């Protein structure tokens, strides 16, 4: 099942820079592993914002929640989720 996810990062401006760097590094490692696993299908930067637009391929909303809430940046992100399904005019057979 595909989900469109928008994440906006709001790190506290007074957060210790070393702590922020460590969180971002852990987030990057996890994001890249989830991409290698085929779960985090798309990851795009929103131009001009500390935000991304992503597509996740997961079993259901419960699995997506489990993944999103385990991200190191989760406590510092506003997250919007929309469930997706195949568009009848899509020519891409792999869209689910």
Nearer to ligand MUC, 7 or 58 (CB): 7
Supply angle C-alpha 39, 66, 25, rounded to 5. 70
DSSP 30-55: HHHHHHHTTSEEEEEEPTTSSEEEEE
User: Which residue's CB is nearer to ligand MUC, number 19 or number 86?
Assistant: 19
Q: Considering the complex, state which of residue 48 and residue 88 has its C-beta at the smaller distance from ligand MUC.
A: 48
Residues at the contact surface with ligand MUC, assessed by CB under 6 A: 7, 9, 27-28, 31, 43, 52, 73
Q: Which residue is nearest to ligand MUC (CB)?
A: 52
């Amino acid at each position: 099942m595909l989900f469109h996810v928008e994440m906006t990062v709001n790190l506290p401006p007074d957060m210790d820079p070393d702590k922020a760097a460590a969180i971002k590094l852990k987030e990057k490692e996890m994001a890249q592993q989830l991409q290698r696993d085929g779960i985090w299908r798309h990851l795009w930067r929103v131009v001009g914002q500390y935000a991304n637009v992503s597509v996740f391929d997961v079993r259901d909303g419960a699995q997506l929640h489990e993944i999103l809430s385990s991200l190191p940046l989760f406590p510092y992100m506003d997250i919007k989720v929309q469930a997706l399904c195949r568009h009848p005019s899509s020519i891409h057979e792999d869209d689910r």
